[in-house]
Structure 1
Amino acid sequence: MFDRTAGSYVVELLKDWDVDHIYGMPGDSINEFMEELRKEEAIRFIQIRHEETGALAASAYSKLTGKIGVCLSIAGPGAVHLQNGLYDAQKDKTPVLAIVGQVSSDLVGTDSFQELKMESLFEEVAVYNRRVQNAEQLPDMLNQAIRTAYAEKGPAVLIVSDDLFGTKIKRDKVLTSSAYATPTIRAHEEDLQDALRLLRASKKPVILAGKGAAHARAEVLAFAEKLKAPLIASFPAKGIIPDDHPHNLGQLGQLGTEPAEQAMKEADLLILAGTAFPYREYLPDDVPAIQIDVDPKVIGKYYPVLVGLVGELAPAAAWLTANLKDKDEGFLLKYQKKRSEWHKTLQDDMASVTEQLQPQHVIAEVQEILERDAVVSLDVGSVTLWSARYLQLTDQQLVVSAWLATMGCGLPGAIAGKLAYPDKQVVSLLGDGGFSMGMQDFVTAVKYRLPMILVIFNNQKIQLIEHEQEEMGNEATQVELANIDFAAFARACGGEGYTAKTRLELKDALAKAKNSRIPVVIDAYVEDSDPPS
C-alpha cells in the first residue's frame, strides 16, 4: 500500500502515457500540481505567456506526432483562454488533454474568487469533461480522460481543485491501466467488391485524398497509379500527398488549382479517400462515389456515396489496387498536361520581376532554404491561400488550423513542431494579422532555445477579410493594421529579426536564419496583391 499525494500519481501516470512536456502558466489553483511537476525531470513544463498558445501548441503537437498534447491552466480566466485551442483539436480530430484547476474543493459552488462553472464551460468542446470530486478518483479519471481523447480523437478536460493534488491517498490495488489499445478496422469484402465494380466501369475516376492518408501514403499513391487516376489533395493533406507526384493536381476549392477543379467537373467516379470534404460546390454535380473512412459517421455526410468502405485507408487501397486491372490512361494524360502548364504558370509568377516584393516571391525564396524533412507551421489568412497555391511540399509536415481556421495558430504550431522534432528545421509562414494575435509567445521560443524561422507576410492589413468584403459588393472596412516593426520586436525578445523589402534582402535574411541557433523573425513587406482565386 502506497501513501502518496494524488498529484504524484498524476505525474507518474502522465509518464506512463509517454507525456514528456506540458504547456501552461502557474497560478493559484494549480500550485499544488506545479509543486509535483517541479520535482519531476522527465516532464518538461513549457511556460507560455497566454493559455491560448498552450492549447493551440498542444493541438499542433498532437497533429504532428499522433501523441496526446497536454496543456494546463488555472480556474476562471486561464480556463477560458484554453477554449480556442481545444476547439481546434476538436474540429481537426486530434487528442489533447487539458488539466484545468478549480477553486478549493470546499469552496466549489460558493461563487468564490475566479470560480466558474467549468463543466458547462467545456461541455460542447470536450469528448471527456469531468470534475474530480475527491483525490482517490484522480488517477483513474486521468486514465479515462486520456483513453477517451485517443479513442474519440478530441480534447479531454479534467477539472481538479488544487487541494486534491496535494491530498495523500492510499492505493492498495490498481483499478485502471495507462494503456490504449488501437483498434484495427477493416472494410467488409462485400463492400470492397462493390467498390471494385464501380472502379472497373469508370473511364474518368478522380481520387480526392485527405489527412486520413497520413498512414497510407504509399498505398494511396499505388492505387492512383494502378487506376490511372488524377489525385487531388484536401488542404490538410498537402505534403501527405507529395506535391511533386505526377498524379497530384493540387488542392481543391478556394485553396485549389484550375486542373483540380476541371478534373473534378469532368469525373465520372469520385473516390473520397480519408476525407469528408465539406465543400459541395467544388464536387461533381451527380456522379457515383466511393468513400473510405474509419469513421462511419462521415460516410455520405457531405456527398451522396454509392459505396461506403468503413475501415482503414491503407488496407482498403491495397486490396483495390491488387484486384484492379490496368486502366486506360487517356484521362490522366490530359490532366497531367494541364498540370504541367499550371506549374509553368506558377513558376513564371514566382520568377517575375516587380518593383515591390510579392507574396509568391516570398514563398519561392522560402522554398530554396526549406529542408526536405522540415515542419511547416502555417497561419490562417491570405497567407494560407498563397501557400496552398505556390508552396511545394514533398516529405515535409504541414500543421495548420484546418477546420476551425483560427488566426494565431502559426507560432504555437512552430513551438510544438520544434519540441516534437528538435533536430528538424521548423519554418512558419504567417500574416501580420495572425502573428500579432499571439506574438507575445515568441519570447517563449526564445526562452526555451527553440530555433525556428518565422516569415511574416506584412501587408499591414487583414487582406483576406478585405477581399471577402469586396467580393460581397461591400466597401472594405476596418481591415488596415497599424504597422509593427516585427524585426525590432524579435530582437527585443532576445531573438533575431530582419526586415526584407526586396527579394535580395529576403534571400540574405533567409540565409542567415537558416544557420541561426535561436528563433528568427523575418518581416517581409509584401505588396498588397489580391489573394489567388
Structure 2
Amino acid sequence: MKASEAVIDILKDWNIKHVYGYPGDSVNNLIEGLRKAEDDIRFIQVRHEEVGALAASAEAKLTNHVGVCLSIGGPGAVHLLNGMYDAREDGAPLVVITGQVSQDLVGTDNFQEVNLERMFDDVAVFNKRVTSGELVQPLLKQAFKEATTHNGVAVLTIPDDVFKESVKKDKLRSTVQSNYRLFPEKEDVAQAAKLLQQAEKPVILAGRGALSAREQLEEFAQKIAAPVVVSLPGKGVLPDEHPYNLGNLGQIGTKPSYEAMEETDLLILVGTGFPYRDFLPDDVPAIQIDIDPAKIGKWYPTEVGLVGSSEEILARFNEQLSYKKNRSFLDACQKNMANWWEHVDKIAEAKEGEALQGPQVMHELNRVVEDDAILSVDVGNVTSWFAGFFRMTNQDFVISSWLATMGCGLPGAISAKLTNSEKQVWAICGDGGFSMGMQDFLTVVKYQLPINILVFNNEKIGMIKYEQEQMGNIPYQTDLQGMDYAEFAKISGGEGYKVTTQEELQVALESAKANNKPTIIDVDIKERAPLPGKIEWNQARSYSKHMLKKLIEGEGNFDMPPLKTVLKRLF
C-alpha cells in the first residue's frame, strides 16, 4: 500500500475522528487518503491553520485523547505554532503532521522550504522528519506514543513524495498501552496525614488535575474542614456555589480566596501548577499532589510531595483521616463567601437605562446555559467576567490557560461541538479575541455546527488598556475599529443578534438557545476594569497616577470622577 494509506491506518488505530487542517501541495497525497477515509475520519478544513491547531489542542483537553492537526510545510506549518504551544503549555497530547518539499530538494532553499525540525524543536517532545516510506509507520506510531506518554506535542514532517511510496502493511497495532500506577511512599503519606491532622486552618488549591477527582476532593474537604480555592483551569471542580468553594485566586480571584490564603497554616495543592507566588502564603508548609513529579515544588516549596493521581491519593486520605471537629476557620470562610456573593449580585444587577457591562451579560448567560453545556472561553477581560460571574454547576469549559493566547474561544467551540454534538456549546469572546480568528465562523457554517458565540463588544483591547492604566500610563493603541459581528454572522450564512439593552440580550440568548444554527450575539458593553478581589496598594497608586497624568495632559474629554468614586472603584 501507499505510505499515505499507512498513515490513515494508524489514525484509525488510535481512534482519531477529526483531523484539523488545510490542504496544499506538500500534503495533497495524504489529503487524498483522508478523502477515501472520510466515513471514518473527518478532515475539518479550517480557514487558518492556527485555528486548526488550537481546535486540535482544545479537543485533546476536552476528551483527554490525542488531537491531530495537519498542514503543508513552510507557511502552513508556521501558522500551527500558536496552537502547538498552547497544547504544550496545558499538557494536551497533540500529534502534528506537516508536509515538506520533496525529499530530493530538502536543504536547497527551495520554494516554501523551512527548516521545520529546527522550528519545532522547542515546542515538541518528539520531532522527526521522515526520509523514506518505510519509516512512516514506525515514526508515526512513536509520535502517538510520545504525545500520549508525555502529554505533549509530537511532530512528524513528511515530504509529499514520501506519501506516494509503496510500503509493506505493518500488522502490529500501535495503541498497546502498558498499565501502570504511581503512588507515593507510605512514609510520605503518613507525614502528610500528620500535617493534615495538626492544621487548624488548611486551604486546598485545586487545579485541572483535580477535575477527575471531584467526589474525592469534596469528601476530603469535608473531612479536614478546608475551603477549596481553584485555579482558572480548575474552575468547575466543585460547583461555584458549593459551600466549600471560595472561587478563583489571583487577578481573577475573589476576596475570600485571597484572605483565606493570608490566614492558612497549611496549603494543599491538588493537581495544580499555580505560578503566581504573590497570591500564595509567605511561609506555610505545603502538601502537593501531582501526577508529574517534575511539578512537585516547582512553583511553591513543599513539605511533602505526593506523586500520583489526585483521585487515588485523596481516596486513600479519605479512608485514613477522621472528621475534624474544629470547623471555625471553615465557617468564617463560608460567611465571608456568602457576603462576597451578595457583593457580586449587586455588581451583576442591570440598572435600568444604563449600558450593559460584562458582569451583567454573564449574569444573564447563567440563565440559558444548560447544566451539561461546554463553554469555550477566550482570553482577555471576558476571562475575568467568566471566572467571577459565571456560576458553573456541571458544565465543562476549555481555555488557553497557561499560554493565554487570544483567539482560542472560537476554535475551542468548534472542537467541543464536533466531539459532543448533543451538547449545548457556547463560545465566550471579547471583540479583540474573536476578531483574531473570526474568519473561521465560516468553518462553523460550512459544517453546520449550532454553536452560540457571545461577543463582548467594547471596541477595545480591554485588558491591555487596564494593564497600561495599572502601570500609570495613558492607554495607547487599545481602541479597535468598530464591527457589527451580528451582521457578519448573517452574511456568512449564520444567525446574528445585535444587543444594546438587557431586554434585547434576554431575547437574543433565548433565541440563540432555540434556533439550532451557528449564531453570534454581538453585545455592546460599557467599559469596566476587571478589578481583582483584592487591590494592592501599588495598583491603586499606579491607577491614580494614570488618572492624574490623563488630567494634566488633557487627553480627550476626560472628566475626573470624585475621589470617593475612585476609591469605591478600587476597593
Aligned counterpart for 1:271 among listed residues 257, 263, 268: 268
Q: How does 1:389-408 map to 2 (within 5 A)?
A: 389-408=388-407
Structure 2 SS opposite 1:30: helix
CA deviation profile, 1:335-386 (whole Å, cap 9, x unmatched): 1001111111111222241510111111011110000000000000011111
Aligned counterpart for 2:192 among listed residues 183, 190, 195: 195
Task: Name the structure 1 match of 2:431.
Answer: 432
Say if 2:95 and 2:144, in contact at 8 Å, map to a contact too: yes
Aligned counterpart for 1:243 among listed residues 240, 245, 260: 240
Q: Report how far residue 322 of structure 1 moved.
A: 1.5
1:128 matched to 2:126? The reply is yes
Structure 2 SS opposite 1:241: coil
- Structure 2 unaligned regions, length at least 5: 533-571
Task: Name the structure 1 match of 2:112.
Answer: 114
Q: Which runs of 4+ in 1 moved over 6 A?
A: none
Give me the TM-score of the superposition, normalised by structure 2. Answer: 0.92
Aligned counterpart for 1:185 among listed residues 182, 185, 200: 182
Q: How does 1:247-266 map to 2 (within 5 A)?
A: 247-266=244-263
For 1:440 and 1:532, locate their aligned partners in 2 and report how far apart those are by CA, in whole Å. 31
Q: Report how far residue 325 of structure 1 moved.
A: 1.5
Q: Report how far residue 209 of structure 1 moved.
A: 0.5
Q: Report how far residue 78 of structure 1 moved.
A: 0.1
For 1:227 and 1:260, locate their aligned partners in 2 and report how far apart those are by CA, in whole Å. 17
Q: How does 1:225-240 map to 2 (within 5 A)?
A: 225-240=222-237
Q: Report how far residue 244 of structure 1 moved.
A: 2.1
Q: Report how far residue 177 of structure 1 moved.
A: 2.5
One-letter identity of the residue aligned with 1:438: G
For 1:210 and 1:29, locate their aligned partners in 2 and report how far apart those are by CA, in whole Å. 41
Say if 2:13 and 2:173, in contact at 8 Å, map to a contact too: no
For 1:112 and 1:153, locate their aligned partners in 2 and report how far apart those are by CA, in whole Å. 34
Say if 2:350 and 2:356, in contact at 8 Å, map to a contact too: no
Say if 1:356 and 1:501, in contact at 8 Å, map to a contact too: yes
Task: Name the structure 1 match of 2:53.
Answer: 55
Task: Name the structure 1 match of 2:531.
Answer: 532
1:486 matched to 2:449? The reply is no
CA deviation profile, 1:64-94 (whole Å, cap 9, x unmatched): 0001111000010000000000000000001
For 1:445 and 1:179, locate their aligned partners in 2 and report how far apart those are by CA, in whole Å. 35
CA deviation profile, 1:422-442 (whole Å, cap 9, x unmatched): 000001110000000000000
CA deviation profile, 1:123-180 (whole Å, cap 9, x unmatched): 0001110001100010111110011000111111110001111111124x64662333
For 1:348 and 1:177, locate their aligned partners in 2 and report how far apart those are by CA, in whole Å. 56
For 2:411 and 2:86, locate their aligned partners in 1 and report how far apart those are by CA, in whole Å. 12
One-letter identity of the residue aligned with 2:284: V
Aligned-residue CA RMSD (Å): 1.0
- Structure 1 unaligned regions, length at least 5: none
Q: Go from structure 1 to structure 2 and tell me whether the alpha carbon gap of 1:236 and 1:58 turns closer, same or farther (over 3 Å shift).
A: same
Structure 2 SS opposite 1:109: coil
Task: Name the structure 1 match of 2:307.
Answer: 310
Task: Name the structure 2 match of 1:321.
Answer: 318
For 2:178 and 2:61, locate their aligned partners in 1 and report how far apart those are by CA, in whole Å. 19
Task: Name the structure 1 match of 2:66.
Answer: 68
Say if 1:414 and 1:426, in contact at 8 Å, map to a contact too: yes
Task: Name the structure 1 match of 2:218.
Answer: 221
1:521 matched to 2:558? The reply is no
Task: Name the structure 2 match of 1:143.
Answer: 141
Say if 2:13 and 2:174, in contact at 8 Å, map to a contact too: no
Q: Report how far residue 181 of structure 1 moved.
A: 3.2
Task: Name the structure 2 match of 1:27.
Answer: 24
One-letter identity of the residue aligned with 1:205: P
Structure 2 SS opposite 1:253: coil
For 1:170 and 1:400, locate their aligned partners in 2 and report how far apart those are by CA, in whole Å. 42
One-letter identity of the residue aligned with 2:374: V
Give me the TM-score of the superposition, normalised by structure 1. Answer: 0.98
One-letter identity of the residue aligned with 1:57: A
Q: Report how far residue 285 of structure 1 moved.
A: 0.6
1:344 matched to 2:342? The reply is yes
Q: Report how far residue 276 of structure 1 moved.
A: 1.7
Q: How many residues align?
A: 529
One-letter identity of the residue aligned with 1:87: Y
